Structure 1
Amino acid sequence: MSPDATDAAPRRRIPAVRRGLWWAADYVYAARRQLAVLALPWSIGRPRPVPPRWRSADESLPEVVLLPGVYEHWTFLRPLGDALAAAGFRVSVVHGLGMNRRSIAATAERLRAELADLPAAPTGRVLVAHSKGGLIGKHLLVSEQAAAEAGAPSALGLRGLVAVATPFGGARRAVLLFADPSIRAFLPGDATIVELGLAAHVNARIVSIYGPYDPHITEGSALVGATNVEVPMGGHFRVLQPASTHRAVVDGIRHLTAG
């Protein structure tokens, strides 16, 4: 990944057959991950603890905070968290988000409150998100920068956001589930989507990672002014799986915290 790669390459046309195969494999992967979440042991009313190996870290590296997408428990991102822990990062999650169906703004505020209660490491924090999690992360970056410009102190230590398959410009296909407010919030004309789109001043603190085809986000996830990285795997969920995505996330964190 080049630190100067702020503009995405022109999108190439993907043959319909390949798109169909990617679409099918995408939902198989998502179903497997959801079943894996349900199979994990836990006690009702108590948060699921992160794996012990996520707590040890190279002290020279920033803390990573995982943010899942809509209808995703944080454990949906466990393979990515395992890869980041193996790379030496301390990996954290925010408990109490459930299946992430609250509004983007309300969830960003909950995230801010949770992070404010825990002292940031000297090396800071990087948000690593999937889908809606990227919108939540950008919302927090915008609000924290606005507070800083107004002279309000912040102890969150945010260095930036690495987002995978995030609909920064909205997703027209959200209209297919128009009755669900959690999905309707992704429509391009939604007030929060429009507001975040206008907040381009934080885009330099964002690395956006995506595949060549996303059946949920036909508009793509490239973000003007951000560092945009395309990985070989197509899909909205399955793009989280390959080592190429894990390497891109690690490289994105290093890019955001360099210097």
Structure 2
Amino acid sequence: MNKLLHNLGVWAMDYVDAGLVHARSILAWSVPPEFSTGDPGKPTIVLIPGVYERWSFLRPIAERLNAAGYPISVVHGLGYNRRPIVETSERLARALSLVSANPAGRLIVAHSKGGLVGKHMLVSFSEDLHLRGLVAVCTPFAGSRYARYVLGQTLRAFIPTHETIVSLGSNTSVNAKIVSIFGGFDPHVPDGSVLIGATNVKLPVDGHFRILHRQETLDAVTDAVDLLVRSSAASAVLGAVAGDGTGEHTA
């Protein structure tokens, strides 16, 4: 009974938190000008919010990463991210392709559905967009069984047997470039956010929305971004060494 009451409390407070973020986003919708600045040696962070969310849900994380020297990219035109995952990925890719990439590349930081969009982008556009990895918070990589009980295609797209969920789940080629961060009880992702082959980080916090501004999450995301930057840099060095053996390359 105590666990049930705890979970109901988390669920209620999660919606209160989401409502407050929506309200604040109306009053402070503009992107801080300092987001465009950062250390030229660090990749640009591309923010992808979850369904029914705007970029402001990720604002605490963006501010923390920007303070650490990472430039932040906010892509407008997604609305409340209700379009299908693949369509959203393709729209984002087109928008990013119109802007020259930071010499250090790009790295995606996403919440919930945004992590699925981010994984599709890694699978389909990594080379073209110079994507170095994905940090996903509370992403339903295996879908959510609750999606079966809702109306409308926006949320039913998270049914575990949906073709996009199955397709992304079966493609493990980019999982090593993903860090999945999640808490204990997530009222929207009941089966968890563990992704086989990725770096999985479980935090001692609960919730789906409130987790986004917890100190533990800000620390974990910053550590994850730094980890992916180091890992991709090491891979690039190894690749260069391997390619220097004969001086011959096959396109």
Task: Give the structure 2 partner of residue 32 of structure 1.
Answer: 20
- 2:45 and 2:203 mapped to 1: Cα distance? 21
State the distance in 1 between where 2:69 and 2:187 align. 33
Whole-angstrom CA distance in 1 between matches of 2:164 and 2:61: 27
Three-state SS of the structure 2 residue aligned to 1:127 is strand
Verify the 8 A CA contact 1:119 1:155 in the aligned structure 2.
Answer: no
Q: Does structure 1 conserve the Cα–Cα contact (< 8 Å) formed by 2:177 and 2:228?
A: yes
Provide the TM-score with structure 1 as the length reference.
0.85
Q: Is the 8 A contact 1:120 1:155 kept in 2?
A: no
The answer to whether the aligner puts 1:166 opposite 2:166 as a matched pair is no
**Equivalent residue runs for 1:1-259 within 5 Å:** 15-40=3-28, 49-144=30-125, 154-177=127-150, 179-258=151-230, 259=234
- 2:115 touches 2:135 (CA, 8 Å); kept in 1? yes
Residue 37 of structure 1 deviates from its aligned partner by: 1.2
Question: 4+ runs of 1 displaced by more than 3 Å?
Answer: none
Report % sequence identity: 50
Q: Which fold has the larger relative contact order, with Cα–Cα distance below 8 Å and residues 6 or more apart in sequence?
A: 1
- C-alpha separation between the residues in 2 aligned to 1:16 and 1:49? 39
Query: Retained in 1: the 8 A contact 2:140–2:193?
Result: yes
- 1:184-230 residue CA offsets vs partner (Å, 9 max, x unmatched): 10000100000000001110010000001100010100100000001
Unpaired segments of 5 or more residues in structure 1? Answer: 1-13, 41-47, 146-153
* C-alpha RMSD of matched pairs (Å): 1.4
**TM-score normalised to the size of structure 2?**
0.88
Q: CA deviation at 1:49?
A: 4.1
The C-alpha deviation readout for 1:116-156, integer Å capped at 9, x for no partner, is 111111211100000000000001111136xxxxxxxx441
Distance in structure 2 (CA, Å) of the matches to 1:16 and 1:86: 39
Tell me, in whole angstroms, the C-alpha distance in 2 between the residues paired with 1:54 and 1:244.
Answer: 22
SS of the residue aligned with 1:111? helix
SS of the residue aligned with 1:201?
A: coil
Q: CA deviation at 1:112?
A: 0.8
**SS of the residue aligned with 1:160?**
strand
SS of the residue aligned with 1:228? strand
Q: What are the ranges of 5 or more consecutive residues in structure 2 without an aligned counterpart?
A: 235-251
Distance in 2 of aligned mates of 1:231 and 1:119:
35
Superposition deviation, residue 86 in structure 1: 1.5
Aligned partners of 2:225, 2:62: CA distance in 1, in Å? 13
| C-alpha distance in structure 2 between counterparts of 1:155 and 1:199, whole Å | 19
Counterpart residue identity of residue 233, structure 1: V
Aligned residues: 230
Secondary structure of 1:61's match? coil
